[in-house]
């Protein structure tokens, strides 16, 4: 229960920052926010190392990213692998805490797209620079799930 409460609070903070600072900073907000998400993605590598999680293949990278994002964003995050090989993984996010907080707090969900994309790509590329993350469907744009592909560059 403590983990769930902490994760819910953590997923609300970026939404509050967006609501407050986007109004004050206008278009400059994205310029300032995205480097923060990029740095957050870089931290995934340190967490993976501390937990002894592997990141040599697309499968390992995807699994490691899933474990760590579940720790950070809580049990509300629901991920599913759809296509898995050592060199390519296509996965889906079926439930997203950030999207849920945005909806609860009245933030236009599409405003999450760049932050999410920046965080995910940074995390994957820092886990293993030979790999990258590509985005397909996006719940914040009205799709029924988010789709990501982790593959060699």
Contact in structure between 75 and 11 (CB atoms under 8 Å): no
Q: What is the mean pLDDT of residues 12-27?
A: 91
Q: What is the mean pLDDT of residues 112-129?
A: 96
Contact in structure between 11 and 99 (CB atoms under 8 Å): no
pLDDT of residue 55: 98
Contact in structure between 131 and 64 (CB atoms under 8 Å): no
- pLDDT single digits (tens) 53-104: 999 999 999 999 999 999 999 999 999 999 999 899 999 999 999 999 999 9
Asked: is 2-152 a CATH 3.30.1380 domain? The reply is yes
Nearest Cα to Cα of residue 90 among 151, 152, 149, 153 = 149
Contact in structure between 26 and 94 (CB atoms under 8 Å): no
- pLDDT over threshold 90, residue 131: yes
Segments in 52-89 forming alpha helices (H): 58-73
Binned at pLDDT 50, 70 and 90, residue 40 comes out as very high
24: left (phi over 0), alpha (psi -120 to 50) or beta: alpha
């Amino acid at each position: 229960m403590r983990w769930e409460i902490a994760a819910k609070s953590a997923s609300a903070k970026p939404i509050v920052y967006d609501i407050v600072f986007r109004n004050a900073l206008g278009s400059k907000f994205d310029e300032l926010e995205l480097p923060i998400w990029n740095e957050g993605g870089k931290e995934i590598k340190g967490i993976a190392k501390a937990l002894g999680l592997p990141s040599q293949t697309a499968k390992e990278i995807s699994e490691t990213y899933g474990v760590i994002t579940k720790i950070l964003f809580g049990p509300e995050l629901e991920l599913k692998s759809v296509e898995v090989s050592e060199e390519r993984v296509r996965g889906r996010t079926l439930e997203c805490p950030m999207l849920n907080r945005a909806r609860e707090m009245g933030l236009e969900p599409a405003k999450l797209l760049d932050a999410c994309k920046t965080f995910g790509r940074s995390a994957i590329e820092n886990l293993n620079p030979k790999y990258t993350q590509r985005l397909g469907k996006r719940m914040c744009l009205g799709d029924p799930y988010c789709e990501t592909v982790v593959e060699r560059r």
